[in-house]
Every structure is written in C-alpha cells, then in structure tokens.
Structure 1
C-alpha cells in the first residue's frame, strides 16, 4: 500500500469542490472529505441569504455532498429539514454523478428577533421539527427515507444519530463553515463563503466489531451501556474530533493535508477525487409537467400579463408559458 505522500505525487492535491474518498486499513475506517469554495459562493449569492441562514444551509450542503457522492447507483440523495423555527426549511440534493443544489426558506421577522435576542445558534433557528434523509433510485424503485428529530442538537450530532439509528454504522461527522473577507483585483472588499466536512465510518470485516453502546433507555434508566466501542473505532473517532474549523475551511490546508495530519501514523490511502458542480435539475419540461396538473381555474388564476411565470426556488431561473401552452399540454396528457 502506498503512503499518502507517494500518492499525492501521482494524484496531486484535489482543491476546492472535490470530494476526496479515503481509507485507513489499520483502523478499518473509510470516509470522505471535502472543501467547498466557488460552488458554495454561487449557490448562496443567488438568494443573498442573511449570514445565519447561509451558515445553516452551507452545513446541509456539505453533509449532502459527503453522503450523496457515496451513492453507487444512478439516483438522488436529499437532506431536508422542516421545522417551526425562523429557518423553517433547508433542502439540498445531490443527483448522480455530480450535480448539487440547495435552498433555504426563512421568516425575516422571526430571524431578526432571534438574532437580536442572542439566539442565533443553529439549533435556535431551526427550532423543533425533523431532518429527513431521502434516497431516490428512480421511478421504478421505492424511495427510502430516514427521519431524525431536530431536538436542539447540532447538525453534526443529528447526522451521527441518523447513521446510528437507521444504518447502524458507527460514524463520525465534522462540518465547518467560514465567511472570509478579502479584496478583489480592483481593491474592492468582498465576502466569500467556504465550507468543509469529513465523514468517517467504521466498517470492519467482522460485523460484531461494529456493535455500539446501547442507547439510553430514557427517564428512569440509570444503568451503564452494556458494552463499549471497538478500540480501533475509539481511536479513529478521537482523531476526527480533533479537527477544528480552520482545518476544514482553509484552502492552504486542503483535504489531503488534513487526512495526513489525522491518520499518517496509521497509514491513510486516498482515492481519486470526485468533482461536484452547481447544477440544478429544473427544466422547462419538468416545470410543464407540474403545470399539467392545474385545473382550468388554476391556470386562469396563475396568469398575469398574459403569461404564467414560474421561478425555480433553487437556481432562480425564470420560466414563462402562455396559458394556451398549458391548456394544450393538459389536453395532450
């Protein structure tokens, strides 16, 4: 097995918007890490999100990227929150092989009130609700959905709870977001967003080694977990927990240097990086498929200045149709 330094001589550094898969054989750990730069900026700039909302959406986008790029089939992976907080909807989806998009919905007044009250932490802005992970393999397969409660924990903790409850795979997750301020070539001040993350999973050949401590039984359960974690996983998890925000977002560190810092003593192997792109799955045809379900009354109500206008919430692309186009499409079904 080549060491990381030898591999980098052949593969080079991945850079931004590239997911780097890795494996640590000595610890039976596999995972993926990423730093998002220009892609993230593009997604956030379309909607000019307030900083608190941008940070939340960035975490969801990173999480979606890390999990979505692990799909081994053609399909779509979606992470979505629905809650009663000031930010009541966050959604990001990854369509194989490399298309990513994201969107956030929030109540401006509630957001401003939360920030003014000093309650702008992610768990405060999300409130109570659910986080859903959905895997869609196409129209001939039943979608799979896992749901975790939003209960005041961070998105990192909620993601780990999902893997524990739904996948039963010991998993460590780290997410980080940073807003950088620098100057462009003309000397003008500008803001740039960066985000990064890492997912590591314990996947030994012996399934019994993956056993985790029993879940707490709730109120009245004063007992200790009946068994502990595997030593290899304890070591790997402890290493992942040492990652700080700067390491996940600093372009001078990058994915490979971070992996080397974490696992070089154990021998870490990296694989060719996988690019991700800001690509929306909307199209004129797909929007028309939705409009085909309109009644005659709904078509009339949606018509303004002689046309029906629909703007994609994700990419802000505007689609325009004449009422007659929609009526003809309805008749042609």
Structure 2
C-alpha cells in the first residue's frame, strides 16, 4: 500500500472516518467508511428497535460514503418514503464532516417485518445535493420495489450517474454490560477509466421489446470485473471489526494490484437544530395554530426529530419577531 511512496500498512483502526483510496492498475477509486461512537449516539438517542436501528445504520453509512465525496461545503441528504413498516428514513450529511439521522416507523407493523426489504416496502429513495442558495439543487430518485439499500444504490448509479459502482454495507450490534453498541462499515468502488468507452454499462431493459426478443449482453471490462470479484469477497464482520483497520482491509483485497490511500476524513454526529432556529419556525405559524400547540403547562414544547432535544417556549416570546426574522 502506498501514499506518495510504499510504506507499511497501518493497523490502527479509526472509527468515524472515511478513507479514500485508488487501485490504479484497475482504474478504480473508492472509499471505506467506518462508524462507531457517532452512529451509536445517533441510534441510542431514539432507542430504536434493532431492525430499525440496523436499517438506519445502513442508510447512515451509505450517506457517509456518498456525501464525503462533496468537494465544497454543502448538504447531502438521503431520504426514503415508503409503504413499509419504516415509512421514512432521513440522513443529513453537512460537508465536510457533520452527520445526523432519524427513522419513522410503525411499531405494530414492525412485528411482522423481519427483513430490510419488508421494512422499506414500496416507495422511493432520493439523494439530494444542496450547495447553497446560489447553486441549483440536484436530486436523484430510485424506486423502492423490495430491494435493499445496497441494490437501490447500485440502481441509482446505473440510471442516474452511469458510473459502474459497487457498494457493500454492514451494521452490527455488540451487546455490552452497558447495553448495545452499534457499529457500521461500508465500501464503495467506482470504475473510472480514462477512456469513457470502457465505462459502458448494459442498457436498461426498454420494457417494450417484442416478445422473444433477446438483448445482446454487453461485455464487462476485465479490470472492473476483477475489482468487483475482489470486493465481493468482503465479509460483513470485516467492515465492522474495530480491530481491523481500513488500510489492512484494503491491503487484503488489493495487495496484488497495489492500492494507494489518501488522507482520511473524520465525521461526527452533530445536529444543526437550535433554540433560535426553532423559535423562527414557530413564528411562521398563525397565532391560532400556536395557541393550539400550548400544552397543559401553558408552554409550547418541541422535540427535534434528529437529536431528540426537547425545548419549551413561552407563547409570548413567539409573538414578537426576532431581529433575524
């Protein structure tokens, strides 16, 4: 493994980090994400049932893999809306390093949905990039029809980006004396040869071809086939093992071809909610709507969906606009 020159592979694992890498002989670039305390804090704030926590963990690590590629400050969001027991997932990644997430689910339906595909059901998965007021937003949407988040990500890259991409996600729950500790890991590879012709993928089925018509299969580039075969040997435990560094994992996969790693990027959980921000939001409601929000104690209470922070407001303080409104 090398950076500017060959060196020993580091065995020091780094949680809450993303390690970019390149396998130049195969024209492949990618990232490995390893999440520990940040993910555990996000999930423990809500005490999600294990199936929901595992699904949200997959969504978080997928968001980190994609959002950490933003070259400028901006926001990357993953959101699902579906008919499943988990009807909504939202993960925000504020470049370069801030992360927050939440899930909404039906507890009764959850009892009958054991697998991730059943949890999601039919609906859609949306990726949104917001680079600020002066830049237009970009959104890519993928239909959810029973596939998991890994396959939905593959489908997104085939349809929207048209870049050969491999994604693998893993989430694990370690039971300790103090309760559950959640970890997640993921790897993403992309085939980026200098010749665009080598990047071609098989066209999507047109859906209106005559009965009996067979589409000629498109031969996959040998380099990309090799990269996918090597990456496909990854076991879930390797992606979540705190004693296995990302560098050591990449060396296991690509040492025969040579792999170059770049400076790691750290990430951490951080909600952007604030008392002032919520007050501004509440002032956008009509006086009657705010009146209907008043609780038995005579105050308006608001809980942040992301971080579960509860804040209370006196109705009178919301009647006068703040200088920032």
Q: Is 1:249 equivalent to 2:248 in the alignment?
A: no
- Listed as ranges, the matches of 1:117-132 within 5 Å are 119-132=113-126
Q: Is 1:315 equivalent to 2:307 in the alignment?
A: yes
Which residue number in structure 2 is paired with residue 143 of structure 1? 137
Contact 2:40-2:182 within 8 A present in 1 as well: yes
Secondary structure of the 1:313 match is coil
Q: 1:284/1:237 Cα in 2 relative to 1: closer, same or farther (>3 Å)?
A: same
Size of the alignment, in residue pairs? 322
Contact 1:248-1:254 within 8 A present in 2 as well: no
User: For structure 1, which runs of at least 5 residues remain unmatched after alignment?
Assistant: 183-187
Secondary structure of the 2:171 match is strand
Which residue number in structure 2 is paired with residue 24 of structure 1? 23
What's the CA shift for 1:252?
A: 1.6
User: For structure 2, which runs of at least 5 residues remain unmatched after alignment?
Assistant: none
Higher helix share: 1
Q: Is 1:199 equivalent to 2:188 in the alignment?
A: yes
Q: Equivalents in 2 of 1:214, 1:165: separation in Å? A: 9
Q: Equivalents in 1 of 2:276, 2:212: separation in Å? A: 55
Worse-superposed segment, 66-75 or 12-21: 12-21
Q: Equivalents in 2 of 1:5, 1:52: separation in Å? A: 44
Which residue number in structure 1 is paired with residue 162 of structure 2? 168
Which residue number in structure 2 is paired with residue 185 of structure 1? none
Which residue number in structure 1 is paired with residue 77 of structure 2? 78
What's the CA shift for 1:330?
A: 7.8
Q: Equivalents in 1 of 2:214, 2:138: separation in Å? A: 34
Secondary structure of the 2:226 match is helix
Q: 1:141/1:288 Cα in 2 relative to 1: closer, same or farther (>3 Å)?
A: farther
Deviations 1:50-83 (A, max 9, x none): 0100110000000001111110011100111100
Deviations 1:234-291 (A, max 9, x none): 1111111111111111112221111011111111001111100010111122212311
Q: Equivalents in 2 of 1:237, 1:105: separation in Å? A: 34
Q: Is 1:38 equivalent to 2:37 in the alignment?
A: yes
Contact 1:132-1:147 within 8 A present in 2 as well: yes
Which residue number in structure 1 is paired with residue 287 of structure 2? 296
RMSD: 2.0
Contact 1:4-1:268 within 8 A present in 2 as well: no
Contact 1:3-1:267 within 8 A present in 2 as well: no
